Amino acid sequence: MDIPARFGAAHKAKVVQAWRESELPDFISAKEWPASSPDLNPLDYNLWSYLESKAWATPHPNLDSLRAALIREWDEIDDALLRPVVDAYPKGLRAVARARGGRIEK
């Protein structure tokens, strides 16, 4: 089961933007971020789908149950899963640099 798209991007959530504003005042706000910029967050394109599949394997009666499942699954991630994510990151950065603002394909 997928998390509904209506929840939007986590990095644009009001609570996240409020934290960013207080802790990282010089960082670009969600409103200033270019609309078509690539999202290089490895959590978004590698780990989030893994966590979703694990945490949503059984139905949750409420948000607290889902949150606990996500935290439990996060704590169980091992180096064998993380290593390819970390190793692929520089390749993604180079692809973005080569595209000079254009589209990149995975």
Which pLDDT band, with edges at 50, 70 and 90, does 6 fall under?
very low
More confidently predicted of 102 and 8: 102
Compute the distance between CA of residue 43 and CA of residue 85 in angstroms, rounded to an integer: 9
Which pTM was predicted?
0.54
- Within 10 angstroms of residue 64's Cβ, the number of other Cβ atoms is 9
Compute the distance between CA of residue 21 and CA of residue 48 in angstroms, rounded to an integer: 24
Which pLDDT band, with edges at 50, 70 and 90, does 8 fall under?
low
Q: Which two tokens stand for residue 75?
A: 């704590």
43-65 residue pLDDT tens: 776 788 888 899 989 999 999 99
According to DSSP, residue 47 is labeled: I
- SS3 helix, strand, coil % of the chain, rounded to 5? 60, 0, 40
Q: Is the pLDDT score of 38 beyond 70?
A: no
Cβ partners under 8 Å of residue 59, min gap 6? none
Determine the pLDDT at residue 2: 42
Q: Is the pLDDT score of 3 beyond 50?
A: no
